[in-house]
Amino acid sequence: PLPIQVVFYLQIVWGLVTFIITIICLQFFLWIAFNSEKLLTGQVVTDALTGLHNRYYITRQLKEIESTGKMNQYWAALIDIDNFKSINYTYGHNYGDYVLKTLADILRSECIDMKFCRWGGEEFLIIGKIGDDIMEQQRKLDILRLTVENYDFNYKGQHVELTITIGMTPFGNEGTALDWINLADKKLYLGKQTGKNKVVL
């Protein structure tokens, strides 16, 4: 049998060891919970195919813009890929997915000072600040349009010429941001009906 004093100190040591192990386990579980929550949050606001923000995320951003009372400092543009359904039909859905992901990469490189998302299907939404000149913002979108038009879309040796049509509108302080996006959608439709591959302001 061990002396009582030794047993006492051993109990203290084991108690400390147990406490430290418990703390480490709790920290590990908290780390798992935090990262799981972060991952789930990212999945909620991110489009799985393109990696861009999704409609849910941008709608929250629009509500924040509305709450500032300065909606007239912003503009919106809806982008639609011309003849996208025929691309899917001719080359297959894998090619269509490649086109969507590539356009997302182009948006990342060309729209650095703007917010953008995959709005749905082959449509993308851009939100920007007007600054001093709305026409300058339109020129930026036209550069984006030309970048897409001149891009070599090549998937497994299959090349396709691609264009986009853009409907753009500045916000006003009357109505909601979604009301103004609906107006951008009407301008997009007008661009589709009048030849495509253009920016309609």
Q: Which residue has the higher pLDDT, 133 or 186?
A: 186
Rounded Cα gap, residues 167 and 173, in angstroms: 19
Kindly tell me if the per-residue pLDDT of 117 is higher than 60: yes
Q: Residue 101: pLDDT above 90? A: yes
* Catalytic option among 122, 123, 136, 174: 122
Asked if residue 159 lies in contact with residue 179, where contact means CB atoms within 8 angstroms, the answer is no
Arithmetic mean of pLDDT, 107-124 = 92
Asked if the model's pLDDT at residue 201 lies above 50, the reply is yes
**Rg of the Cα atoms in the chain:** 26
pLDDT of residue 40 exceeding 50, the answer is no
Q: What is the mean pLDDT of residues 27-33?
A: 74
Mean pLDDT in residue range 165-194? 93
Q: What is the pLDDT of residue 25?
A: 83
Active site residue 122: yes
Higher pLDDT, 29 or 127: 127
**Looking at residue 2, what is its pLDDT?**
65
Q: Is 35's pLDDT higher than 90? A: no
Say what percent of the chain tops pLDDT 90: 53
Would you state the pLDDT for residue 112? 87
The more confident residue out of 130 and 77 is: 77
pLDDT greater than 90 at residue 26? no
Q: Is 199 helix (H, G, I), strand (E, B) or coil?
A: strand
Query: Does the pLDDT of residue 77 top 80, yes or no?
Result: yes
More confident site: 69 or 131: 69
Phi, psi of 113 (to 5 degrees): -95, 20
HEC-encoded secondary structure of 78-125: EEEECCHHHHHHHHCHHHHHHHHHHHHHHHHHHCCCCEEEEEECCEEE
